[in-house]
Structure 1
Amino acid sequence: MKHPVATSAGEGSRARLKARLAIAVVVALAGVAWWLQPAWLYGWLKVLHLVAVISWMVGLFYLPRLFVYHADAEPGGESAQTFVIMEGRLIKVIMNPAMMVSWVVGLWLAWNGFGLAGAWLWVKIAAVAGLTVFHVFLSRSARRFAKGENRMTARQWRMANEIPTVLMILAIIMVVIKPFA
Protein backbone atom coordinates (compact mmCIF):
# COMPACT_ATOMS: atom_id res chain seq x y z
CA MET A 1 0.00 0.00 0.00
CA LYS A 2 1.37 3.37 -1.03
CA HIS A 3 1.35 6.26 1.45
CA PRO A 4 -0.77 9.23 0.47
CA VAL A 5 1.17 12.46 0.09
CA ALA A 6 0.74 14.56 3.24
CA THR A 7 0.65 17.83 1.31
CA SER A 8 0.08 18.73 -2.31
CA ALA A 9 2.83 20.22 -4.44
CA GLY A 10 1.07 23.59 -4.29
CA GLU A 11 0.84 23.52 -0.50
CA GLY A 12 4.51 22.58 -0.27
CA SER A 13 5.44 25.41 -2.62
CA ARG A 14 3.48 27.94 -0.54
CA ALA A 15 5.04 26.62 2.67
CA ARG A 16 8.55 27.02 1.19
CA LEU A 17 7.74 30.57 0.10
CA LYS A 18 6.43 31.45 3.58
CA ALA A 19 9.50 29.91 5.20
CA ARG A 20 11.86 31.85 2.93
CA LEU A 21 9.99 35.08 3.61
CA ALA A 22 10.13 34.46 7.37
CA ILE A 23 13.86 33.74 7.17
CA ALA A 24 14.45 36.93 5.16
CA VAL A 25 12.53 39.01 7.72
CA VAL A 26 14.41 37.44 10.64
CA VAL A 27 17.79 37.96 8.93
CA ALA A 28 16.92 41.60 8.15
CA LEU A 29 15.81 42.26 11.74
CA ALA A 30 18.93 40.51 13.06
CA GLY A 31 21.11 42.68 10.83
CA VAL A 32 19.46 45.87 12.10
CA ALA A 33 19.80 44.73 15.73
CA TRP A 34 23.43 43.73 15.16
CA TRP A 35 24.20 47.12 13.62
CA LEU A 36 22.41 49.12 16.36
CA GLN A 37 23.70 46.93 19.24
CA PRO A 38 20.89 47.79 21.68
CA ALA A 39 21.50 46.93 25.36
CA TRP A 40 18.84 44.20 25.29
CA LEU A 41 20.41 42.32 22.35
CA TYR A 42 22.81 40.11 24.33
CA GLY A 43 20.05 38.82 26.65
CA TRP A 44 17.68 38.05 23.81
CA LEU A 45 20.41 36.29 21.85
CA LYS A 46 21.07 34.11 24.90
CA VAL A 47 17.37 33.20 24.88
CA LEU A 48 17.52 32.40 21.16
CA HIS A 49 20.66 30.32 21.72
CA LEU A 50 19.03 28.29 24.51
CA VAL A 51 15.88 27.66 22.46
CA ALA A 52 17.97 26.56 19.47
CA VAL A 53 20.18 24.29 21.61
CA ILE A 54 17.16 22.67 23.25
CA SER A 55 15.54 22.10 19.84
CA TRP A 56 18.75 20.63 18.46
CA MET A 57 19.23 18.36 21.46
CA VAL A 58 15.67 17.07 21.16
CA GLY A 59 16.47 16.03 17.61
CA LEU A 60 19.80 14.48 18.61
CA PHE A 61 17.98 12.41 21.26
CA TYR A 62 14.92 11.52 19.16
CA LEU A 63 16.50 10.60 15.82
CA PRO A 64 18.54 7.66 17.18
CA ARG A 65 15.37 6.47 18.94
CA LEU A 66 13.58 6.51 15.58
CA PHE A 67 16.53 4.55 14.16
CA VAL A 68 16.05 1.90 16.90
CA TYR A 69 12.54 1.21 15.65
CA HIS A 70 13.46 1.69 12.00
CA ALA A 71 16.24 -0.91 12.31
CA ASP A 72 13.63 -3.45 13.45
CA ALA A 73 11.14 -2.54 10.69
CA GLU A 74 10.81 -4.66 7.56
CA PRO A 75 13.00 -3.04 4.88
CA GLY A 76 10.85 -1.38 2.25
CA GLY A 77 7.71 -1.95 4.32
CA GLU A 78 5.08 0.62 5.17
CA SER A 79 6.49 1.39 8.61
CA ALA A 80 10.03 1.72 7.19
CA GLN A 81 8.74 4.28 4.67
CA THR A 82 7.00 6.18 7.46
CA PHE A 83 10.27 6.29 9.41
CA VAL A 84 12.10 7.63 6.35
CA ILE A 85 9.62 10.51 6.12
CA MET A 86 9.75 11.23 9.87
CA GLU A 87 13.56 11.12 9.97
CA GLY A 88 13.95 13.37 6.94
CA ARG A 89 11.56 15.99 8.25
CA LEU A 90 13.13 15.95 11.72
CA ILE A 91 16.56 16.61 10.21
CA LYS A 92 15.47 19.19 7.65
CA VAL A 93 12.86 21.13 9.63
CA ILE A 94 14.18 21.00 13.19
CA MET A 95 17.72 19.71 13.56
CA ASN A 96 19.57 21.50 10.75
CA PRO A 97 18.14 24.97 11.45
CA ALA A 98 18.54 24.54 15.22
CA MET A 99 22.16 23.46 14.83
CA MET A 100 22.96 26.42 12.59
CA VAL A 101 21.33 28.93 14.94
CA SER A 102 23.09 27.31 17.92
CA TRP A 103 26.48 27.73 16.25
CA VAL A 104 26.01 31.24 14.83
CA VAL A 105 24.44 32.76 17.92
CA GLY A 106 26.66 30.78 20.30
CA LEU A 107 29.86 31.95 18.62
CA TRP A 108 28.62 35.55 18.62
CA LEU A 109 27.83 35.29 22.34
CA ALA A 110 31.23 33.73 23.03
CA TRP A 111 33.02 36.45 21.10
CA ASN A 112 30.95 39.37 22.39
CA GLY A 113 30.67 38.16 25.98
CA PHE A 114 34.03 36.48 26.57
CA GLY A 115 36.28 37.48 23.70
CA LEU A 116 36.56 33.78 22.87
CA ALA A 117 38.81 33.50 25.94
CA GLY A 118 38.86 30.81 28.61
CA ALA A 119 39.73 27.14 28.56
CA TRP A 120 36.20 26.27 29.72
CA LEU A 121 34.80 27.97 26.60
CA TRP A 122 37.08 26.00 24.27
CA VAL A 123 36.14 22.72 25.98
CA LYS A 124 32.48 23.68 25.52
CA ILE A 125 33.09 24.49 21.84
CA ALA A 126 34.84 21.11 21.47
CA ALA A 127 31.78 19.38 22.99
CA VAL A 128 29.52 21.25 20.55
CA ALA A 129 31.83 20.25 17.69
CA GLY A 130 31.37 16.64 18.88
CA LEU A 131 27.59 17.11 18.79
CA THR A 132 27.95 18.45 15.25
CA VAL A 133 29.97 15.40 14.17
CA PHE A 134 27.25 13.19 15.69
CA HIS A 135 24.59 15.25 13.86
CA VAL A 136 26.38 14.67 10.54
CA PHE A 137 26.68 10.95 11.33
CA LEU A 138 22.93 10.80 12.02
CA SER A 139 22.11 12.69 8.81
CA ARG A 140 24.21 10.30 6.75
CA SER A 141 22.65 7.34 8.56
CA ALA A 142 19.17 8.65 7.71
CA ARG A 143 20.15 8.78 4.04
CA ARG A 144 21.41 5.18 4.29
CA PHE A 145 18.14 4.12 5.95
CA ALA A 146 16.23 5.79 3.09
CA LYS A 147 18.23 3.68 0.62
CA GLY A 148 17.66 0.52 2.69
CA GLU A 149 21.35 0.36 3.66
CA ASN A 150 21.30 0.63 7.47
CA ARG A 151 24.56 -0.64 8.97
CA MET A 152 23.67 -0.83 12.67
CA THR A 153 21.38 -2.96 14.84
CA ALA A 154 18.64 -1.58 17.06
CA ARG A 155 20.88 -2.30 20.08
CA GLN A 156 23.76 -0.33 18.55
CA TRP A 157 21.40 2.61 17.93
CA ARG A 158 20.31 2.47 21.58
CA MET A 159 23.95 2.71 22.63
CA ALA A 160 24.66 5.52 20.14
CA ASN A 161 21.81 7.44 21.74
CA GLU A 162 24.06 8.05 24.78
CA ILE A 163 26.67 10.04 22.83
CA PRO A 164 24.76 13.35 22.76
CA THR A 165 23.92 12.97 26.46
CA VAL A 166 27.58 12.80 27.47
CA LEU A 167 28.56 15.71 25.22
CA MET A 168 25.63 17.82 26.44
CA ILE A 169 26.56 17.21 30.08
CA LEU A 170 30.15 18.27 29.34
CA ALA A 171 28.97 21.47 27.64
CA ILE A 172 26.61 22.34 30.51
CA ILE A 173 29.34 21.78 33.11
CA MET A 174 31.65 24.11 31.19
CA VAL A 175 29.02 26.87 30.96
CA VAL A 176 27.66 26.65 34.50
CA ILE A 177 30.69 25.63 36.60
CA LYS A 178 33.48 27.04 34.34
CA PRO A 179 36.03 24.72 35.94
CA PHE A 180 39.01 26.15 34.06
CA ALA A 181 38.16 29.83 34.57
Structure 2
Amino acid sequence: MFLWIKAIHIIFIVTWFAALFYLPRLFVYHAMSDDTTSKERFKIMERKLYYGIMTPSAIITIILGFWLLGMANYWWQAGWLHAKLTLVAVLIIYHIYCGKLMKDFKQDNNKHSHVFYRWFNEFPVLILIAVIILVIVKPF
Protein backbone atom coordinates (compact mmCIF):
# COMPACT_ATOMS: atom_id res chain seq x y z
CA MET A 1 0.00 0.00 0.00
CA PHE A 2 2.85 2.39 0.87
CA LEU A 3 4.33 2.19 -2.64
CA TRP A 4 0.94 2.86 -4.29
CA ILE A 5 0.42 5.97 -2.18
CA LYS A 6 3.98 7.07 -2.91
CA ALA A 7 3.46 6.58 -6.67
CA ILE A 8 0.23 8.59 -6.68
CA HIS A 9 1.94 11.24 -4.53
CA ILE A 10 4.69 11.58 -7.14
CA ILE A 11 2.14 11.79 -9.98
CA PHE A 12 0.43 14.72 -8.29
CA ILE A 13 3.77 16.36 -7.50
CA VAL A 14 4.49 16.31 -11.23
CA THR A 15 1.11 17.85 -12.13
CA TRP A 16 1.48 20.48 -9.38
CA PHE A 17 4.92 21.48 -10.62
CA ALA A 18 3.76 21.54 -14.24
CA ALA A 19 1.13 24.08 -13.23
CA LEU A 20 3.61 26.01 -11.05
CA PHE A 21 5.87 26.31 -14.10
CA TYR A 22 3.10 27.24 -16.52
CA LEU A 23 1.05 29.79 -14.55
CA PRO A 24 3.89 32.33 -14.19
CA ARG A 25 4.63 31.81 -17.90
CA LEU A 26 1.02 32.81 -18.59
CA PHE A 27 1.64 35.85 -16.38
CA VAL A 28 4.59 36.78 -18.63
CA TYR A 29 2.39 36.73 -21.74
CA HIS A 30 -0.50 38.40 -19.92
CA ALA A 31 1.75 41.25 -18.76
CA MET A 32 2.96 41.71 -22.35
CA SER A 33 -0.52 41.74 -23.91
CA ASP A 34 -2.10 45.01 -25.00
CA ASP A 35 -5.50 44.07 -26.37
CA THR A 36 -8.61 43.29 -24.36
CA THR A 37 -9.29 39.99 -26.13
CA SER A 38 -5.89 38.58 -25.17
CA LYS A 39 -6.16 39.82 -21.62
CA GLU A 40 -9.56 38.19 -21.17
CA ARG A 41 -8.29 34.93 -22.68
CA PHE A 42 -5.35 34.88 -20.26
CA LYS A 43 -7.68 35.50 -17.32
CA ILE A 44 -9.69 32.42 -18.27
CA MET A 45 -6.58 30.28 -18.82
CA GLU A 46 -5.04 31.39 -15.51
CA ARG A 47 -8.24 30.73 -13.56
CA LYS A 48 -8.73 27.26 -15.06
CA LEU A 49 -5.10 26.31 -14.47
CA TYR A 50 -5.06 27.60 -10.88
CA TYR A 51 -8.39 26.18 -9.74
CA GLY A 52 -8.69 23.19 -12.08
CA ILE A 53 -5.20 21.72 -11.97
CA MET A 54 -2.77 23.55 -9.70
CA THR A 55 -4.75 23.75 -6.47
CA PRO A 56 -6.29 20.24 -6.63
CA SER A 57 -2.84 18.80 -7.42
CA ALA A 58 -1.34 20.66 -4.46
CA ILE A 59 -4.07 19.49 -2.09
CA ILE A 60 -3.77 15.85 -3.17
CA THR A 61 0.05 16.04 -3.00
CA ILE A 62 -0.09 17.41 0.54
CA ILE A 63 -2.73 14.93 1.75
CA LEU A 64 -0.79 11.97 0.34
CA GLY A 65 2.43 13.39 1.80
CA PHE A 66 0.90 13.47 5.27
CA TRP A 67 -0.44 9.96 4.72
CA LEU A 68 3.07 8.77 3.86
CA LEU A 69 4.45 10.53 6.94
CA GLY A 70 1.88 8.74 9.05
CA MET A 71 2.97 5.39 7.64
CA ALA A 72 6.69 6.05 8.23
CA ASN A 73 8.00 5.80 11.75
CA TYR A 74 11.42 7.36 11.10
CA TRP A 75 10.44 10.82 9.82
CA TRP A 76 11.05 12.65 13.09
CA GLN A 77 14.76 11.76 12.97
CA ALA A 78 15.41 12.44 9.26
CA GLY A 79 16.99 15.88 8.83
CA TRP A 80 16.63 15.76 5.04
CA LEU A 81 12.88 15.29 5.45
CA HIS A 82 12.58 18.29 7.74
CA ALA A 83 14.41 20.39 5.12
CA LYS A 84 12.13 19.00 2.39
CA LEU A 85 8.99 19.81 4.39
CA THR A 86 10.29 23.35 4.93
CA LEU A 87 10.72 23.73 1.17
CA VAL A 88 7.21 22.37 0.63
CA ALA A 89 5.90 25.04 3.02
CA VAL A 90 7.75 27.68 0.97
CA LEU A 91 6.21 26.20 -2.18
CA ILE A 92 2.74 26.45 -0.67
CA ILE A 93 3.38 30.15 0.05
CA TYR A 94 4.53 30.58 -3.58
CA HIS A 95 1.35 28.84 -4.73
CA ILE A 96 -0.83 31.16 -2.66
CA TYR A 97 1.11 34.20 -3.93
CA CYS A 98 0.44 33.01 -7.50
CA GLY A 99 -3.26 33.11 -6.62
CA LYS A 100 -2.88 36.69 -5.40
CA LEU A 101 -1.11 37.68 -8.61
CA MET A 102 -3.82 35.97 -10.64
CA LYS A 103 -6.47 38.00 -8.80
CA ASP A 104 -4.52 41.19 -9.52
CA PHE A 105 -4.61 40.34 -13.23
CA LYS A 106 -8.32 39.50 -12.97
CA GLN A 107 -8.99 42.97 -11.58
CA ASP A 108 -6.67 44.58 -14.18
CA ASN A 109 -4.44 45.62 -11.32
CA ASN A 110 -1.13 44.00 -12.29
CA LYS A 111 1.84 45.92 -10.90
CA HIS A 112 4.70 43.89 -12.40
CA SER A 113 6.42 43.72 -15.77
CA HIS A 114 6.88 40.64 -17.88
CA VAL A 115 10.54 40.66 -16.77
CA PHE A 116 9.47 40.23 -13.13
CA TYR A 117 7.37 37.23 -14.10
CA ARG A 118 10.22 35.70 -16.10
CA TRP A 119 12.35 35.70 -12.94
CA PHE A 120 9.42 34.73 -10.73
CA ASN A 121 8.92 31.70 -12.97
CA GLU A 122 12.36 30.33 -12.04
CA PHE A 123 11.72 30.03 -8.30
CA PRO A 124 9.89 26.67 -8.32
CA VAL A 125 12.73 25.21 -10.41
CA LEU A 126 15.14 25.92 -7.56
CA ILE A 127 12.76 24.34 -5.05
CA LEU A 128 12.33 21.27 -7.27
CA ILE A 129 16.10 20.80 -7.62
CA ALA A 130 16.61 21.10 -3.87
CA VAL A 131 13.76 18.72 -3.02
CA ILE A 132 14.94 16.07 -5.47
CA ILE A 133 18.47 16.24 -4.07
CA LEU A 134 17.17 15.99 -0.51
CA VAL A 135 14.93 13.01 -1.29
CA ILE A 136 17.40 11.04 -3.40
CA VAL A 137 20.76 11.89 -1.78
CA LYS A 138 19.49 12.35 1.81
CA PRO A 139 22.56 14.44 2.69
CA PHE A 140 21.71 14.61 6.40
Q: Bin the TM-score by the shorter chain.
A: over 0.9
2:67 is aligned with 1:142: no
What is the rounded CA distance, in whole Å, between the counterparts of 1:127 and 1:172 in structure 2? 11
- Ranges in structure 2 where 5+ consecutive residues have no aligned partner: none
Q: Deviations over 1:124-160 (max 9, x none)?
A: 0011111111100101100110000011100000000
Residue 98 of structure 1 aligns with which residue?
57
Q: Is residue 2:92 matched to residue 1:132?
A: yes
CA distance, structure 2, for counterparts of residue 123 and residue 94 of structure 1? 26
TM-score by length of 1: 0.74
- For these two proteins, the number of residue pairs brought into alignment is 139
In 2: Cα distance, 1:113 partner to 1:92 partner: 31
User: Pairwise CA RMSD of aligned residues?
Assistant: 1.1
* Shift in Å, 1:73: 1.0
Q: Pick from 66, 91, 95: which aligns with 2:26?
A: 66
Instruction: Show the counterpart of 2:82.
Output: 122
5+ residue gaps, structure 1:
1-40
CA distance in 1, matches of 2:64, 2:80: 18
Which of structure 1's runs of 4+ aligned residues deviate more than 6 A? none
The structure where helix makes up a greater share of residues is 2
Which is bigger in relative contact order (C-alpha 8 A, separation at least 6)?
A: 2
Q: Of the two, which has the highest radius of gyration?
A: 1
Partners of 1:91 and 1:82 lie apart in 2 by: 14
1:108 and 2:67 are equivalent in the alignment: yes
Counterpart CA distance in 2 for 1:114 and 1:87 is 40
1:174 maps to 134
CA gap of 1:114–1:178, structure 2 versus 1, over 3 A, is farther
